[in-house]
Structure 1
Amino acid sequence: MSQIDIGISEENRSQIAHQLSRLLADSYTLYLQTHNFHWNVTGPQFRELHLMFEEHYNELALAVDEIAERIRTLGFPAPGTYRAFAELSSVKEVDGVPDASEMISILTQAHEAVVRTCRVALKMAQDFDDESSSALIGDRMRIHEKTSWMLRAML
């Protein structure tokens, strides 16, 4: 690849890319968790939760691509293995199949964890005048904040 000259130093782009990699890992882990819960939810709220989880994982599937492409735009490889995601993610995997209420609680906490990751990444992107990454991260943060609010309202 040719030299990148977008007005952000390579060192700063590297630091932003690392924070975006953490966001990508969180998002992909949350995607898998949400998809798992979509498949395995049961109970009186089955239909509502099944459909809601599907909306969430479809949105996350698009998001992970956008985040990975931003990392590539900054000139760095995007992580793409379970091992890398496990090392980078603040969203932890769940063993077994929790009941529907616990699924909602777990997903609420996971979305809030992604918001916290966004806050760190956003501050760095802003400090390095990376408006494109800032806009992407801000949009992601807003989506996860709203989703966690909606999930909390169901508890």
Structure 2
Amino acid sequence: MDNTNAIGIESVKAEKLAEKLNELLANYSIFYQNTRGAHWNIKGEKFFELHVKFEELYNDLILKIDELAERILTLGFTPEHNYSKYAAGSSIKESSEVTNGIRAVENILNSFKMVIMLQREILVLSADADDEGTNALMSDYIREQEKLVWMYSSFLNR
């Protein structure tokens, strides 16, 4: 009896990966909406700079959300799509700090920390499952996001 999915990954391991990817999807979805809110509502002397940076970020996040959903489907499972489940399953919480640039950037940095840590957990699972597709995706995300953490931290003089 074959215990692998359509792409040759052990079914039990694929299921664990899909569960963790759905958790990451929830976090990305809340991160996206928080960033979108900051983009819409930012005020103050750094408005023009932050308004553009937040738009760049939410455009990137929406692409990652789609890639995560497609990866879950590739593993043979269903990506979650309900915001109520996102809110319940996300470590990132909805933010009401969307007008103050410093607070918004701090929120973005905290969100990056959470998704990077979760992506590292997924890397361990994907390595164990010999799932190069998920592994490559997480590695790419982490590399990009670590650089963004440096940039946003520099904005805050940290």
- TM norm. shorter chain > 0.5: yes
Moved more, 143-152 or 65-74: 143-152
Write the deviation string for residues 67-94 of structure 1: whole angstroms up to 9, x where unpaired.
1000001010001111111122111111
| Contact 1:109/1:148 (8 A) holds in 2 | no
Unaligned runs of 5+ in 2: none
SS of 1:17's equivalent in the other structure is helix
Write the deviation string for residues 84-143 of structure 1: whole angstroms up to 9, x where unpaired.
111221111113545111111111111111101101111111111100000011111122
SS of 1:152's equivalent in the other structure is helix
Aligned to 1:124: 125
Aligned Cα root-mean-square deviation (Å) = 1.3
Aligned to 2:94: 93
Instruction: Quote the Cα distance in structure 1 between the aligned partners of 2:140 and 2:10.
Output: 24
Instruction: Quote the Cα distance in structure 2 between the aligned partners of 1:28 and 1:52.
Output: 18
Residues 153 and 96 of structure 1, relative CA distance in 2, 3 Å threshold? closer
| Contact 1:26/1:89 (8 A) holds in 2 | yes
| Contact 1:21/1:78 (8 A) holds in 2 | yes
Please report how far the alpha carbon of residue 28 of structure 1 lies from its aligned counterpart in structure 2 after TM superposition: 1.1
TM-score normalised to the size of structure 1?
0.93
Please report how far the alpha carbon of residue 7 of structure 1 lies from its aligned counterpart in structure 2 after TM superposition: 2.0
The code of the aligned residue for 2:154 comes to A
Instruction: Quote the Cα distance in structure 2 between the aligned partners of 1:153 and 1:97.
Output: 20
Aligned to 1:114: 115
The question of 1:25 aligning with 2:26 is answered yes
SS of 1:43's equivalent in the other structure is coil
Moved more, 60-69 or 142-151: 142-151
TM-score normalised to the size of structure 2?
0.92
Q: Percent identity?
A: 38
What are the within-5 Å matches in structure 2 for residues 11-90 of structure 1?
11-90=12-91
Residues 146 and 62 of structure 1, relative CA distance in 2, 3 Å threshold? same
Instruction: Quote the Cα distance in structure 1 between the aligned partners of 2:97 and 2:140.
Output: 32
What are the within-5 Å matches in structure 2 for residues 131-150 of structure 1?
131-150=132-151
Aligned to 1:151: 152
| Contact 2:112/2:145 (8 A) holds in 1 | yes
The code of the aligned residue for 2:136 comes to A
